[in-house]
Structure 1
Amino acid sequence: MQTFHIQNMTCGGCVRGVTRAIQSVDPAARVHADVPARRVQVVSDQPREIVEATLTKSGYQAVWIAP
């Protein structure tokens, strides 16, 4: 599981955008978002660098949180 802090994720619309971005590189990815904590947990076969770069390219300020 990969965990990211996304500073500019503030609503359900943001969660949908984040989910779409992640699933654009891994359609089977599972995404769990915690909007108040601005945290996303991702289960994906893609390396975290790809997920993080995809989120950043999509306009979300993603910072990986080490386990």
Structure 2
Amino acid sequence: MEAVYTVKGMTCGHCVNSVSTEISKIDGVTGVQVDLPTGAVTVSSAGPLPRTAIAAAVDEAGYELIGAQS
């Protein structure tokens, strides 16, 4: 499965790494791709993931989840 989320506040490569690392810790996540200019975060997973888990991981990284495009 693949879902696309929008994250607010990322401005550099370190931001991308922080968000990717935190989302990768969620059980079932198989891949994370971040597009810094747009804030789009594509999450690949073995099955559906709760939006709350993605939001919590983004928050832990210090950013804000502002949308999902599933």
TM-score class, shorter: 0.7 to 0.9
Runs of 4+ more than 4 Å apart = none
CA RMSD of aligned residues (A): 1.9
Structure 1 residue 56 displacement after superposition: 1.6
Q: Which amino acid aligns with 2:61?
A: S
Distance in 2 between residues matched to 1:27 and 1:11, nearest whole Å = 27
Q: How many residues align?
A: 67
Query: Where in structure 1 are there 5+ consecutive unaligned residues?
Result: none
Report the TM-score when normalising by structure 1: 0.78
Distance in 2 between residues matched to 1:41 and 1:28, nearest whole Å = 11
Distance in 1 between residues matched to 2:29 and 2:44, nearest whole Å = 9
Report the TM-score when normalising by structure 2: 0.75
More strand by share: 2
1:2 and 2:7 aligned: no
Distance in 1 between residues matched to 2:40 and 2:29, nearest whole Å = 20
Structure 1 residue 49 displacement after superposition: 2.1
